[in-house]
Structure 1
Amino acid sequence: MAGNLDRLRVEFVEGISPEVLNQLLDDLHGEGVLNPGEKDHILEKYLIRADRARALLDTVRKKGNTSIKIMMERLQTQDPALYSRLM
């Protein structure tokens, strides 16, 4: 699954809206995929939406397939159109 993220990275970064990105950060923090420090780091260090999207994707990818699956499930709920394009 992690290999698929490399292929989908560009479309994810270009397609995700600021609102969905922020909701994903909140959801993944609530699910325990991201700890408070990781979430805050992404929000504080990266001011540009695309940079935040890349940082989120990289962080989740490093955590393995279960975390990737959770992120994709949340993306499907928050932005079904983007999720469909990625799948």
Structure 2
Amino acid sequence: MAGNLDKLRVEFVEGITTGVLNQLMDDLLAEGVLNPGEKDHILEKHTIRADRARDLFDTVRKKGNTSIKIMMERLQTRDPALYNHLMPQ
């Protein structure tokens, strides 16, 4: 599974836009996957979109498979094309 997540991380970072990234962080905050401090940390520590995406992915990944599943479900709603690229049927 770790290898799959490493590949997923690379493609997530490459494909996500700033707007979707911000919406996704808001969604994860509302779902309780992220707390306000984690979201603020990601936004304040990084100014580059790719760095924010990496930090978000890594933060969610550390929380386990349920958190990753929630993030991917929200991504499916926010950016179906990216979701379908990351999670081909």
Q: TM-score, normalised by structure 2?
A: 0.93
Q: CA contact under 8 A between 1:2 and 1:68: conserved in structure 2?
A: no
The one-letter amino acid paired with 1:68 is I
Instruction: Give the gaps of 5 or more residues in structure 2.
Output: none
Counterparts of 1:31 and 1:3, CA distance in 2: 27
Structure 2 CA distance, aligned partners of 1:2 and 1:60? 14
Gaps of 5+ in 1: none
When the two chains are superposed, the root-mean-square deviation of aligned CA atoms in Å is 1.0
Counterparts of 2:33 and 2:4, CA distance in 1: 19
TM-score by length of 1: 0.95
Sequence identity (%) = 84
Q: Secondary structure at the match of 2:34?
A: coil
Find the aligned partners of 1:26 and 1:64 in 2 and give their Cα distance: 19
Q: How many residues align?
A: 87
How far apart in 1 are the matches of 2:4 and 2:10? 12
The farther-off stretch of 6-15 and 67-76 is 6-15
Deviation (angstroms), 1:4: 2.3
Superposed, which structure 2 residues align to 1:40-51 within 5 Å? 40-51=40-51
In structure 2, the CA distance between the partners of 1:33 and 1:3, relative to structure 1 (3 Å rule), is farther
In structure 2, the residue matched to 1:29 is 29
